[in-house]
């Protein structure tokens, strides 16, 4: 099964952009890349997902490498509320069983 | 308000006892999931259900059982066969089980075995 690799932790300043990397070198052609984030003692919250093209929504942007072996979640202007654990997840198009959570990156925001 | 509810928020169990965790959703979603999270770790899939009266094992199903008799309900039973059940349990749902669908998570149940 394809796995993801993320840095354990990152730190950023408030109101600056944040780039959270994810490696998924064994990704298959039908795997979607999803990002979720989790605040302490809460359930994860969906952030964004994509397949091949870069994606934007009101929360973030997702940049996917041309070979799809890596991706980057971009928070354009970090706030204190963005401090959370961010998970990069691969999901197969047709199978719910292939849901593999990465180790997650704990993002801290300095005021 | 639409969403997923889990109860109880905290649960204590004696060794050797079975315990059932509740998960209810009013989002009219077909697919539902149970995950386990240990301290400092990511989520691991226990069971999932794509439709009523059907469910599939995830990566760590041993010691757990589920039922899906109603679309809105997906209870998880932690049996005495689960050797290390103390963990944070999360329920999620999505409109289908496909790779493009967003999963919506409940607030979680923290189970402690005494």
- pLDDT tens column, B58-81: 989 999 999 999 999 999 999 988
Q: Which of B42, B100, B103 sits opposite A102 (nearest CB)?
A: B42
* Nearest chain A residue to B45, by CA: A99
Give the whole-angstrom CA distance, residue A39 versus residue A37.
7
pLDDT, position A97: 56
pLDDT tens for residues B80-110?
888 899 999 999 999 876 767 888 999 999 9
Strands A105-110 and A9-13, bridge-based pairing: parallel
Mean pLDDT (chain A, rounded)? 90
Query: Per DSSP, what are the bridge partners of residue A46?
Result: A36
**Residue A1 — very low, low, confident or very high, per pLDDT cuts 50/70/90?**
low
Given B31, B43, B90, which is nearest A96 (Cβ)? B31
Confidence (pLDDT) at A49: 93
Q: How far is A44 from chain B (nearest CA, A)?
A: 6
- pLDDT bucket at A85, cuts 50 / 70 / 90: very high
Name the residue with tokens 């691991």. B44
User: CB of B60 within 8 Å of any CB in chain A?
Assistant: no
Decide if pLDDT at B25 tops 90. yes
In chain B, residues with a C-beta closer than 8 Å to the C-beta of A2 are: none
First to last CA, chain B: 35
Non-local CB neighbours of A48 within 8 Å, separated by 6+ positions:
A34, A35, A55, A57, A59, A60, A61, A62, A73
Say if B44 is an interface residue toward chain A (CB within 8 Å): yes
State the nearest Cα–Cα gap between A111 and chain B, in angstroms. Answer: 24
Q: Contacts of residue A104 in chain B, CB cutoff 8 Å?
A: 42
Chain B positions touching A36 (Cβ under 8 A) are: 103
Query: Do B31 and A91 make contact, defined as CB atoms within 8 angstroms?
Result: no
Location of structure tokens 């890349």: A33
């Amino acid at each position: 099964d394809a796995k993801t690799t993320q840095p354990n932790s990152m730190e950023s300043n408030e109101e600056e952009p944040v780039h959270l990397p994810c490696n998924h070198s064994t990704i298959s052609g039908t795997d979607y890349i999803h990002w979720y984030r989790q605040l302490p003692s809460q359930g994860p919250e969906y952030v964004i997902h994509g397949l091949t093209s870069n994606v934007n929504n009101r929360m973030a942007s997702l940049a996917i490498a041309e070979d799809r072996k890596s991706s980057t979640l971009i928070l354009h202007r970090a706030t204190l509320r963005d401090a959370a654990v961010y998970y990069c997840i691969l999901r197969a198009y047709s199978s719910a069983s292939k849901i593999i959570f990465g180790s997650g990156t704990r993002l801290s925001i300095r005021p | 308000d639409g969403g997923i509810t889990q109860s109880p928020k905290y649960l204590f169990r004696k060794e050797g006892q079975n315990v059932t965790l509740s998960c209810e959703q009013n989002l009219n979603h077909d697919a539902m999931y149970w995950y386990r999270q240990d301290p400092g770790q990511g989520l691991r899939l226990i069971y999932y259900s794509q439709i009523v009266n059907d469910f599939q094992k995830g990566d760590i199903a041993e010691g757990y059982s589920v039922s899906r008799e109603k679309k809105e309900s997906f209870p998880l039973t932690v049996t005495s066969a689960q050797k290390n059940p103390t963990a944070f349990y999360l329920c999620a749902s999505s409109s289908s089980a496909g790779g493009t669908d967003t999963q919506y998570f409940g607030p979680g149940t923290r189970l402690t075995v005494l």
